[in-house]
Structure 1
Amino acid sequence: MKTHRAFGVYGVCYEEGRLLVINKSRGPYINRFDLPGGSLEESEGLIEALKREFTEETGFICSIADQIGTADFIFPCAWKDFTHVHHIAVFYSVKRTGGERIEPLQFDGQDSLGAEWVSAEEASIDNASPLVMKALDWLGSGALDWETKIFKRWDIKEPPV
């Protein structure tokens, strides 16, 4: 097993019974709901990266309410010469403070097709990333499970026909 380690910061924005998610346009979570957020750029801090990614992917400006914690996921995924992905995510509770929902600019590295609000009933492991499911668990229980979630199988979703 050769594993690619991915690290990112993600915002959990919950209003009126709905979670803000993005529609993923590439990567192992393509064609699924995912949390706004992503990787850090060179010399960028965690909070700075989250605020930048959040705005780029949704159009909304956010403030950080709290750091929720971390979670990690390992799943099979053929990419370059890797056989698996180990995704490490730092979760933050965020508040929307401005901006408006946009169709994100498409540039090299952009992986959001836009944002939408979903209820817990609308999201499942069949249409959402493990990050979304972990955020919904946290919203329901107030705690994050610390154990690494290992998927024996991970399906890359084809776009709807």
Structure 2
Amino acid sequence: MAPEPQHHFGVYARIRDGNHILLVHKTRGPYTGLLDLPGGTPEPGESWQETLERELQEELGLHLPAVGRFKPFTIHVRTTSTGASINFHHRGVFLDLPRPPTAPSTSMSPDTAGSRWFNTRTDNKTHLSPVVHAVLSL
């Protein structure tokens, strides 16, 4: 029997510098232990821009304006990072942002444990979340 479907919507940043993308280490949820885009779920009454600016502050300690055109994505995830069966429908939007003028700091979010610049040409992609795989192809 298939697991009950779960639906999630999130707002994310794709922060690039050449072949590098800034990712966070997930500490909970279906992507635990994987590298993921910084971002998260809007709070009630929050715009996408407000959500992203808050999440960038919480996860990366960065004050970045979320200006630009958000791009949508939709994925269906069937297994967690640990291999457990799920029926996870993940919709979201992401915004392309340039490399920030300051380095990210320690995460204040319970969802993440630090960040790193990931080289999209040479680094091993097996530890990337399904969201990262989806937006790298867009």
Q: TM-score, normalised by structure 2?
A: 0.83
Checking the alignment, whether the CA contact within 8 Å between 1:59 and 1:99 is kept in structure 2 is no
1:4-153 equivalences under 5 Å are 4-76=6-78, 83-106=86-109, 110-120=110-120, 121-124=122-125, 126-138=126-138
Between 1 and 2, higher relative CO (CA 8 Å, sep ≥ 6) is seen in: 2
Shift of 1:51: 0.8
Checking the alignment, whether the CA contact within 8 Å between 1:63 and 1:96 is kept in structure 2 is no
- What SS class does the counterpart of residue 134 from structure 2 fall into? helix
Structure 1 vs Structure 2 CA RMSD: 2.2
Give aligned-pair identity as a percent: 27
Q: Which 4+ stretches in 1 moved above 3 angstroms? A: 95-100
Q: Describe the superposition over 1:106-147 as per-residue Cα deviations: whole angstroms up to 9, x where unpaired.
A: 5xxx211011101113152x2011221123223xxxxxxxxx
Q: Gaps spanning 5+ residues in structure 2: where?
A: none
Aligned residues: 131
Name the one with the larger strand percent.
Answer: 1
Q: Gaps spanning 5+ residues in structure 1: where?
A: 139-161
Q: TM-score, normalised by structure 1?
A: 0.72
